[in-house]
Amino acid sequence: MQYAHPLPDTLLERYKSWRDNGFSENEPLLRTLADDGQSPQAMVISCCDSRVHVTSLFEAAQGTFFVHRNIANFVPPNTADGDQTGTAAALEYAITVLKVPHLIIVGHSACGGVRGCYDLCSGNAPGLEDSFVGKWVKHLRPAFDRLPEGGETDRVTAMEKEAVLLSLENLMGYGFVAAAVNAGTLQLHALWNDIGAGTVEAFDAERGAFAAL
């Protein structure tokens, strides 16, 4: 395969450092996980964005989170174009096979995917609709339609949070999710991470709003 290149030196050095230090510190845990399999505490859906680091946020070790990442940390509706099965497959495995007790969706500040949909819905992103990104983020439109009036910066931030809630709604359209939630074996959680401030907000259902943890 002529397309496969050696890793850049910077990554190779970091791997060697992890192998010599990080791995040896965690070797007993990793051996147990390798022998006994995984039993994660939660499934986490977060954005592909390199600045969102859910394992660091929660000081999670290997085996703690079953993580799925996609553009804009979005769960598409069960009725979305039939070929969007990547997220659904991850959900199905985590809930029906691993039986995770918690499902956490982590939105974040300055999300390019949410911004793309905002621009798309505002008519400011000609051509985006024909791209793979556009075909994916267009499913966030219901979050745009719920935004209050206001300045653009506030509306985009509000949409990042509204999109997380839309994902929770969409989750309940998957029979195996609804069944687990209704049986009390699965709890859903909606979070939003302000990258620059290092803070996390959680949606409080009683107050109907996100609040800082």
Signed CA dihedral, 147, 152, 154, 156: sign only? positive
Q: What is the DSSP string of 23-58?
A: HHHHHHHHHHHHHH----SEEEEEES-TT--HHHHT
**Minimal distance, residue 193 CB to Zn ion, in Å:** 10
Residue 137 Cβ vs Zn ion, minimum distance, rounded to whole Å: 10
Question: Least distance from C-beta 77 to Zn ion, angstroms?
Answer: 19
- Nearer Cβ to Zn ion, position 90 or 133? 133
142 and 166 Cβ atoms separated by less than 8 Å: yes
Please identify, using beta-carbon distances, which residue of 174 and 192 lies nearer to Zn ion: 192
- Give the list of residues 6+ apart from residue 113 with CB closer than 8 angstroms, or none: 47, 71, 72, 74, 133, 136, 137, 140
Q: Pick the binder of Zn ion from 42, 43, 46, 49 (CB under 5 A).
A: 49
For the CB of residue 185, give the shortest distance to Zn ion in the complex, in Å: 29
* CB nearer Zn ion, residue 44 or residue 47: 47
For residues 184 to 203, the per-residue mask of contacts with Zn ion, x marking binding by CB under 5 A and - elsewhere, is --------------------
Residue 111 interacting with Zn ion (CB under 5 A): yes
Query: For Zn ion, which is the closer residue by CB, 95 or 157?
Result: 157
> Helices then strands (H, E): number in the chain?
9, 6
Among 43, 44, 45, 47, binds Zn ion (CB under 5 A): 47
Is residue 164 a contact residue for Zn ion (CB under 5 A)? no
- Amino acid letter for position 93: Y
Contacts of 135 (CB under 8 A, 6+ apart): 81, 129
Decide if residue 75 touches Zn ion (CB under 5 A): no
Our finding on whether 106 is near Zn ion (CB under 5 A) is: no
Q: Which residues of the chain form contacts with Zn ion (CB under 5 A)?
A: 47, 49, 111, 113
